[in-house]
Structure 1
């Protein structure tokens, strides 16, 4: 079981993804905005992986990744970009742990497998 920080501004997609990850055995804490994600990361025990939407209000996924990397609690946190608005996550900011082929339009099984790999 992984502790997952899920960041997505779409409430329906965030809830559906969180439920599916929980069914898969993971503990999920969700955030709707980059600011909320940073606050959650500071207030909770260490996460095993973060799942970031690429298109967020007031900061996109790349900007949030930069903020996470500059925060001591999340500097080494594995990140998976997961977005409905792009057929492929084209901007992974040099992050070798991000899977550029995950999209919300695909089965969540790929996301579950990626989280399992990153959290071990």
Structure 2
């Protein structure tokens, strides 16, 4: 199962996503914003999958993905989970190689997107 970083400023969504992914056997760490995510990556290493909200205060999901890639996370698979449903946002997500799911989301679609990344969890997650 994959090492998954969940970043969403909504406590309820973050908790629900974490719960569903843990129930599917993934190692999950969840934080509320991009700065927390970068600090966590510095401490624990790069995740295999990042599930990112697009609209967050400070650093948005696109900026966070770019920062992760600049820190050596070129291979991190990204799943954007967003209430932004405009075609331009979806297209931008695809352009950066991410899976783009909209809120409200179907848990099985999220789990499938994460599991397409493969990988085995390490103890640090």
Task: State the TM-score, normalizing by the size of structure 2.
Answer: 0.84
Shift of 1:93: 6.5
Deviation string, structure 1 residues 93-118 (Cα, Å, up to 9, x no partner): 6222x123x12312111010111111
Q: Distance in 2 between matches of 1:118 and 1:36?
A: 23
The two structures have a TM-score, normalised by structure 1, of 0.87
Q: Is the 8 A contact 2:6 2:14 kept in 1?
A: yes
Counterpart contact for 2:48–2:75, Cα < 8 Å = no
What's 2:85 paired with? 87
Give distance in 2, aligned partners of 1:93 and 1:35. 24
**d(CA) in 2 for partners of 1:119, 1:8:** 22
Structure 2 gaps, min length 5: 120-125
Q: Is the 8 A contact 1:2 1:116 kept in 2?
A: yes
Specify which structure has the bigger relative contact order, considering alpha-carbon pairs within 8 angstroms and separated by 6 or more residues.
2
RMSD (CA atoms): 1.6
Once residues 118 and 96 of structure 2 are traced to their aligned partners in structure 1, the CA distance between those partners, rounded to angstroms, is: 16
Q: Distance in 1 between matches of 2:65 and 2:48?
A: 15
Task: Tell me which stretches of 4 or more aligned residues in structure 1 moved more than 6 Å.
Answer: none
Aligned to 1:106: 105
More helix by share: 2
Aligned to 1:13: 13
